[in-house]
Amino acid sequence: MEAVILAGGQGTRLRPHTDEIPKPLLPVGEKPVVEILLKQMQKTGVTQVCMAVNHLSGQIINTIGNGERYGLKIKYSQEESPLSTVGPLKLIKNLSDNFIVANADVLTDLNFRTLFDYHLGNQANLTVATYARPNPIDFGVITVDDNGLAVGFNEKPVFNFVVSMGIYVFSKSILKYVPDNRPFGFDNLMFTLLDNRIPIHTFPFSGYWLDIGRPDDYQKANDDIDRITDLMS
């Protein structure tokens, strides 16, 4: 299995942590977050990784190296300018017919082999790993009719949304919908595929998943260090 790790973002929501350290190298316990992801990938069957890099890329390349110490073959694809989350894939040569894509700041105990086999079994164009995330509302929610009259009330409800985990499996054929040399995000890809009625498969997951995109999430990652250490064993 081949994987692409998207490691080019500036991590603006995590400043000042990311002013001098790229987000993939932020320490969780004593290990960079991307190292934990790499070890989970290797443990569940990934053999080759291409890291798409841009912001402070030299630090990432010098820290991670060629992947030998992780039991992986790692190469790098350098963006000359930011291309968002899907645009960088067009720069990578000789991708496999099907390949995993993951954000560099994701912690999970997902079995990448199971996800990959699910994608192949469905002969999918794109498979999105998804998570049911509860979103509590800290207020009493009033349902109002067209006349401004209250017709319902719900005290501090919890809504569940199916969200993308930032982990996918792509068929290389999907890349024809991605423009060359300009920013193109996962949201752009989803809208494009939906507009063209291209089937998008989902892979529901209920294990451990944490996207370190905000300060609260980064703090939770360090609070969960015992469980995260298990990912690396």
Q: What DSSP assignment string belongs to 27-82?
A: EETTEEHHHHHHHHHHHTT--EEEEEE-TTHHHHHHHHTTSGGGTSEEEEEE-SS-
Cis peptide before 183 (omega within 30 of 0): no
pLDDT (0 to 100) of residue 4: 97
CA–CA separation, 54 vs 77, rounded Å?
Answer: 9
pLDDT (0 to 100) of residue 18: 56
| Average pLDDT along the chain, 233 residues, taken 10 residues at a time | 87 61 81 90 94 87 91 92 90 94 92 96 96 90 93 91 95 94 93 96 94 78 74 59
Interacting residues of 126 by C-beta distance below 8 A, sequence separation 6+: 168, 169, 170, 171, 174, 189, 193, 198, 200, 201
pLDDT (0 to 100) of residue 213: 72
pLDDT (0 to 100) of residue 17: 59
2-130+164-231 to CATH, choices 1.10.10.10, 3.30.590.20, 3.30.70.260, 3.90.550.10:
3.90.550.10
Inter-residue contact 209 to 108 (CB < 8 Å): yes
CA–CA separation, 139 vs 149, rounded Å?
Answer: 18
